[in-house]
Amino acid sequence: MRFERIPTRLITVATAAMLLAACGDKHPAMTPHTPEVGVVTLQTASVPVVSELPGRTSAFLDAQVRARVDGIVLRREFTEGGLVKQGQRLYKIDPAPYIARLEPAKASLAKANASLVSARALAERYKVLVAANAVSKQDYDNAVAAQGEALAQVASAKADVQTAQINVGYTDVVSPVTGQVGISQVTPGAYVQAAQATLMVTVQQFDPVYVDLTQSSLDGLKLCRQIQEGHLTTSGPDAAKVTLILEDGREYPEKGRLQFTDVSVDQLTGSVTVRAVFENKDHMLLPGMFVRARIEEGVNPQVLVVPVVGVTHDQKGTTIAMVVDKNNKVAPRPIVTSGTYGQNWIVESGVQPGDRVIVEGIDKVRPGMEVKAVAANLPQVAGSPAAASGASDVKADAAPPRASSGVGA
């Protein structure tokens, strides 16, 4: 086999070209990029303490219309579900038997009045005669007694007439209140009895409307203790204001006012009843509806809040806030929360005022990583010192809603 000899000069040139190409592919080493994260600097704020209690609506006035005399219902004079006025006639019961009883009562009264006139005249005559010794003292005493008996008979007859007139009036069954009438429980032709207090219909007034709420006695004790220790202050004129949440989650447009708290605790449930009253001009609230009410109980002037976007959970379920420390490194802080305030968690422990909590870019950092912290563009908490002065690491775009708490009023 024949081999051709490659010139040494050609090998040298090829080797040099390969070395130059390799040198051209190399780049200088780059410094690692420091990630940028958005942070908020924690500050204390004055947070309203609001409890949310379940309850049901009830009519402001609830009148059960019942029969007060016996008789046959001749007619019904209202439309079921309609509005009726106080004193408006709802039913007519056959008045004939009661009119028949009224006439004899009037006749008895007339007879009693006539007897009284005669007895009074006789007593006056005997008074003169006894002075002249024309009649005995006994005859005069008998005449005076007869006059008194006649007076009693007149009074009794008047009472009988009045009773008969009342019974005739009861045949007109009228509405005791102004309100909305329900479903009729009797029909024309039905026989109703006063002794059985036959329920004929119900009339309810629900403008305004009551909302009866239940709260545990334990929550009430907690609230009183917090106020006494100075952790909570009263809310001033708005302390008794109540916001109503309907069954569909919407907020009722009218604000209510707290009326009273029951003076006793239910021994079976350990709860007390709190009553609020709301205007209900559109009749949106009907008796028996399930609702939830938010009652502002007081104000906690020193509350630390953390935006919900800055709170995560580790694999063990521990609540964590990622903080940028003084060395600009990420440090996880386990925190304990006690409720929410709008889009923020109310924090009991784990962080303190001045800490910088990561709220933007939290998914691209890990503990110990060095980061560049910049102020995040989040709504600032109403009631914080920064909100009052206008200076904050967080831009004030809007104020979140009020706080929710497990503490009852």
Q: Are residues 174 and 209 in the same domain?
A: no
Binned average pLDDT, 10 residues per bin, the chain of 409 residues: 47 48 46 82 85 91 95 96 95 96 95 94 92 90 94 96 96 95 96 92 94 82 64 54 90 86 73 87 92 83 88 90 93 89 88 93 90 83 47 36 43
Q: What is the CATH number of the domain that holds 158?
A: 2.40.50.100
- Spatial contact of 375 and 393, defined as CB atoms under 8 Å apart: yes
Q: What is the CATH number of the domain that holds 293?
A: 2.40.30.170
Q: Are residues 90 and 188 in the same domain?
A: yes
- Tell me the three state secondary structure of residue 156: helix
CA-to-CA separations, 222 to 50, 55, 226, 318, 404, in angstroms, rounded: 13, 21, 6, 27, 15
Assess if residue 286 is contained within a domain. Answer: yes
**What range does the domain containing 366 cover?**
38-42+303-375
Q: Are residues 164 and 247 in the same domain?
A: no
Q: What is the CATH number of the domain that holds 309?
A: 2.40.420.20
Of 147, 162, 197, the residue that ends a domain is: 197
- Spatial contact of 176 and 86, defined as CB atoms under 8 Å apart: yes
CA-to-CA separations, 351 to 42, 180, 182, 345, 406, in angstroms, rounded: 8, 57, 59, 12, 22
Assess if residue 137 is contained within a domain. Answer: yes
Q: What is the spatial distance between Cα 370 and Cα 381, in angstroms, rounded to a whole number?
A: 28
Q: Are residues 159 and 276 in the same domain?
A: no
pLDDT confidence of residue 275: 84
Q: Are residues 91 and 176 in the same domain?
A: yes
User: Crossing angle, helix 137-170 and helix 96-131, to 10 degrees?
Assistant: 160
Assess if residue 17 is contained within a domain. Answer: no
Contacts of residue 111, Cβ cutoff 8 Å, sequence gap at least 6: 157
- Spatial contact of 371 and 328, defined as CB atoms under 8 Å apart: yes
Q: Are residues 95 and 148 in the same domain?
A: yes
pLDDT confidence of residue 377: 81
Strand extents, DSSP E, 188-240: 191-192, 199-216
Other CB atoms within 10 A of residue 67 CB: 24
DSSP code per residue over 80-118: TT-EE-TT-EEEEE--HHHHHHHHHHHHHHHHHHHHHHH
Q: Are residues 107 and 181 in the same domain?
A: yes
- Spatial contact of 155 and 148, defined as CB atoms under 8 Å apart: no
Q: Are residues 310 and 291 in the same domain?
A: no
pLDDT confidence of residue 270: 79
Q: Are residues 154 and 241 in the same domain?
A: no
pLDDT confidence of residue 382: 54
- Of the CA atoms within 13 Å of residue 382, those in its CB half-sphere come to 13
Contacts of residue 185, Cβ cutoff 8 Å, sequence gap at least 6: 198, 199, 200, 201
pLDDT confidence of residue 235: 55
Q: What is the spatial distance between Cα 345 and Cα 4, in angstroms, rounded to a whole number?
A: 84
Assess if residue 32 is contained within a domain. Answer: no
The number of distinct structural domains making up the chain is 3
Of 275, 299, 323, the residue that ends a domain is: 299
pLDDT confidence of residue 33: 78
Assess if residue 394 is contained within a domain. Answer: no
- Spatial contact of 321 and 311, defined as CB atoms under 8 Å apart: yes
pLDDT confidence of residue 264: 74
Token pair in block for residue 386: 């920064």
Of 299, 324, 358, the residue that ends a domain is: 299
Q: What is the spatial distance between Cα 97 and Cα 368, in angstroms, rounded to a whole number?
A: 98
pTM for this model (two decimals): 0.60
Token pair in block for residue 231: 């952790």
